[in-house]
A and B are shown apart, each in its own frame.
Chain A
Amino acid sequence: MSVAEVHPAADEHHGHAEESFWTRYVFSQDHKVIGIQYAITSLFFLLFGFGLMLMMRWQLAYPGKPLAIVPSIGVLGVVWVVFAVLMALDLTLLRKRAKGWALRSILLLAAPVLVVLTLAAAIVNETNAPGGIMLPEFYNQLGAMHGTIMVFLAIVPLAVGAFGNYVVPLQIGAPDMAFPKLNMASYWCYLPGGLVMLASFFVPGGAANSGWTSYPPLSNIATEGQTWWLMGMVLLITSSLLGSVNFITTIFQLRAKGLSFMRLPFFVWTQLVTAFLLLLAFPPLEAAAFMQLMDRVADTSFFMPSGLVVSGEVVDIAGGGSPLLWQHLFWFLAHPEVYVLILPAMGIVAEVIANNTRKPLWGYKAMVYATVFLGFMSFIVWAHHMFLTGMGTTISAFFQTTTMIISVPSVVILTALLMSLWGASIRFNTPMLFALAFLPMFGIGGLTGLPLGLAPSDIHLHDTYYVIGHFHYVVAPGTIFAIFAGIYYWFPKVTGRRMSERLGKLHFWPSLVAINCIFMPMFIQGLAGVSRRLYDGGDQYAHAQPVLEWNEFMSWGAWGLLLAQLPFLFNFFWSIKRGEKVEGNPWQATTLEWAAAPSPPVAHGNFPEVPVVVRGPYEYSPPDADDEYLPQSAAPQAG
């Protein structure tokens, strides 16, 4: 799909006729195009990461059986030929027919699915899965790369790179980001980072296989794929550094006249705090990645203890290093990273809820203070991931305390969002359904985290499926649902057309059911003590037997979740051309991106006139005005 289709009005508002295809769509410096680039790339990685998970779920449900869900190369070849023929037919014969776009949409939705299937078929080769039966080493690759891809290549780039890039300058009334060239460079570090990660599947020994946490010494002695992982991470960290500098500068410097900090939409606040987290938490992981690279390439011993025995032999290195050091540096990033995943999601949900309750957010200021406090606290809780490393009681008491404290601002935000619903006449459109589902789903995810933050219960639950259930509730029906809410909500902003409501609901309800079928049983298995890293899903472990039957159930949930995404993919492509055309402000929203800019916004500069802000972000149903809502940018009322 070319960006031109997503952005049909780009030409109409164009002042720079000399721009070539390359500078406009590929090496673009326009935050809107870059946002779309991020969105398309990261949605692809989201699908790919989901594909890796489907393969794992097959193995967990049917250990030792040949992978039936990955088609053979021969079958795929036939499908590709059929696809090409249909595409050619569509482009020639059916082009003029009015209903042609429906077929095109089906083809467009099939394209990414086919690419993912082809990649999967290429990965599931005789080395990784002889006779289609996956080897344990391959399962480890899938696990490590599912986590890495979902966190660093799918969710964060979607939440920050796509939504942040597209929406933040619009919501603050800015013509673009503060540093458009850095913005472009950020995307062009992210994409190679992703390609390096993909390519690592095809190096000898396959992709990284030491978990997304890459704990040494295991990762230090792992196959070549780990080196690729580290190089990919360095690129991704560079990308996020460039992005975060840009976001903070943009929000501080480019706010429209009258847009004081307490008038910022909550989404902008979450992006601001997120950018600070990325800016300050990622460098320690970069340092750690350099050190692990040195360990692997220059034979240093930063993370290698003395006298380490591998395969019965003492490793010939200087030693004296500390595997624990990696864990500290890694979690110093990776705990703030959790809030990088959840804060923009809360921002999206707040926008959608305020808009569809037609009420101001309840406790806006409390939410802002909670967000800032949350960002600060997230830097001093990291070692609660490490209770099992034998830390002393003083240190663990400190981290347990900070962990309990950090749950307070999260609850403040969630409560404020819940209270915002009170007494409202709610519009139940698709974005709102996803936003509403976010609340209990994130609630489950957050509350199940508390026992993990306390050392006594964590020691039992650590590394069990309980942990997997906990953080997937936060990130999957939490953040990803919020991202879907955002896609449905801002789709008309980008394309000038609304996505189909009927298909949206067909996407929402099955997704909600399926995703709970996947993750709820994980709590049951985890409480029973089933480890998260078992290649056979616990088949050979006595204590897993009573809860073993859930494996197949969860896998069926996963297939169901895949099916539930088909209406979304179709809707996405179909609505670009056939969705209901909308005016500038289809949701009757107050914030600047809707109230002051056309849909889609002006190609260079966003706004026809530089907006001036006169009031807070959520002036819905004002008691003392005739209007149903008061846009932030409207001229002050007479008198």
Chain B
Amino acid sequence: MQIPYNEEARPDTGLYNAKLGVWLFLASEVMLFGALFSSLVLLRTGVEYWPHGYEKLNVPLATINTFVLIASSVTMVMAWASLRLNDFKKHRLYLGLTFLCGLGFMVIKAIEYGSKFSHGLYPATDNFYATYFMMTGLHGLHVVGGMVVIAYLLGPGARMWKTEPERFTNRIEVVGLYWHFVDLVWIFLFPILYLL
């Protein structure tokens, strides 16, 4: 038994199954983070005092992290484009770089968290830190999830290129869509948490 449109796009929808699937998943992720952003607005407007992000958080580190993530999105696209150009070596280079950027992002995040903890600042401190840890933590989990999948596609998952190149390229595209979304969430998180 073969599921139709696993690899090739269905003519009337113009999509293969996994691509539609990941777009739907991202729609639900929009609702998840949307709910958290709305909660932040409600909590912030509901109290008399709410600190500005730049007073409490490390803006330079977060700025570096923003660029690291944007860079990783670029390398992710290159990893996919290299496959379309049939250049597997370059693909591996770019995908490896994407993984390293993700790792770099998480290391910087860990430094940020560590310095907060060492100053005795925890989620329980107040709702500013609670939302900060909650939202960046959930975003961090998404980055780690993406890294796990990328690691798989660099490791055992890469074998599929030999047997089913079209399907492998689809996988990279789908992971890429997810990765760009995680990047995009950060693009919203950064100004709202750190700059406002």
Contacts and interface: CB of A to CB of B under 8 A. Distances in A.
Interaction A to B: yes
A249 B27 contact: no
B130 A301 contact: yes
Interface stretch (A173-181, A522-530, A552-560): A173-181
Interface in B1-41: 1-5, 10, 13, 15-18, 20-21, 24-25, 27-29, 31-32, 34-36, 39
B47 interface: yes
B10 A253 contact: yes
A307 interface: no
B56 to A, nearest CB: 14
B31 A253 contact: no
Interface residues of A, number: 45
A351 to B, nearest CB: 25
Given A283-B35, A288-B35, A249 B124 contact: no
Contacts, number: 128
Nearest to A610: B4
Interface stretch (A207-215, A317-325, A627-635): A317-325
Interface in B129-159: 130-131, 134, 138
Q: Main SS of the interface on chain A?
A: helix
Contacts of B25: 241, 245
Interface string A292-328: 0010001111100000000000000110111001001
B122 interface: yes
A298 B123 contact: yes
A282 B125 CA distance: 29
B24 A321 contact: no
A605 interface: yes
Contact of A317 (B1, B39, B122, B124): B124
A299 B123 CA distance: 7
A294 B127 CA distance: 11
B21 A249 contact: yes
B60 interface: no
Interface centre among B21, B27, B131 (most CB of A within 10 A): B21
A179 B124 CA distance: 41
A179 B43 contact: no
B120 interface: no
Interface residues of B, number: 38
A69 to B, nearest CB: 42
Interface centre among A178, A179, A246, A288 (most CB of B within 10 A): A178
Contacts of B39: 287-288, 291, 302, 325, 329
A332 interface: yes
Contacts of B43: 302, 320-322, 325
Contacts of A300: 123-124, 127, 130, 134
Contacts of B125: 318
A122 interface: no
Given A298-B123, A298-B124, A321-B43, A253 B4 contact: yes
A299 B124 CA distance: 5
A606 to B, nearest CB: 9
A299 B133 CA distance: 13
Interface of B: 1-5, 10, 13, 15-18, 20-21, 24-25, 27-29, 31-32, 34-36, 39, 42-43, 46-47, 122-127, 130-131, 134, 138
Given A253-B20, A298-B130, 15 more contacts: A179-B21, A180-B3, A244-B24, A249-B20, A279-B31, A280-B28, A284-B34, A288-B39, A301-B127, A302-B130, A318-B124, A320-B47, A321-B43, A322-B46, A604-B1
